[in-house]
Amino acid sequence: MERTLIIFKPDAVNRLLVGRILTRFEDKGLRISAMKLQQSPVEQVKKHYEVHQRKPFYNALVEFMTGGPVILVVLEGPHATTVVRNMLGATDGREATAGTIRGDFGLDQRYNLIHASDGPETARTEIELFFKPEEIVDYTRAPDRWIVSK
């Protein structure tokens, strides 16, 4: 089992797409281990995106991500980081394959609806940045035995 962090960005929240997108992850069989809505502090967003610090789009990205509430979700499942990244599609909605989240709902490279951790190591760091350990819940759902075989 692997955990990954996803962030519903302010465009997803403001476009009323959270429910429809979250349903895709539930339909896939992924389990929600933690979830909260917040208005992100600038310093936290800067830390989260520090790898992009020197990119020309960095300031606008920080402004975007602090310009409205986001919803943070920890998802769990086998190979969750890869599975979720594949469901998102390419960064730019104009290039993302139809059938992916960005391919179906987006037309922009900044306003791309969802962030997801790019691997298990990054996921651990990102989850730690946004959640306290006690906010993450370990549990099983009744259908789990029909979602992943032993």
* Cβ-defined contacts of 98-103 (< 8 Å, 24+): 101/21, 101/24
Least distance from ligand CMP to the Cβ atom of residue 51, Å:
8
Interface residues toward ligand CMP, by CB under 6 A: 52, 57, 61, 91, 109-110, 112, 115
Would you say 1 or 51 has its CB closer to ligand CMP? Answer: 51
C-beta closer to ligand CMP: residue 26 or 57: 57
Residues facing residue 3 across a β-bridge: 76
Q: Which of 48, 52, 79, 115 is catalytic?
A: 115
Nearer to ligand CMP, 54 or 150 (CB): 54
Q: 79 catalytic, yes or no?
A: no
CA angle 101, 104, 109 (to 5 degrees): 75
* Beta-sheet pairing, 2-8 with 114-116: antiparallel
Tell me the catalytic residues: 115
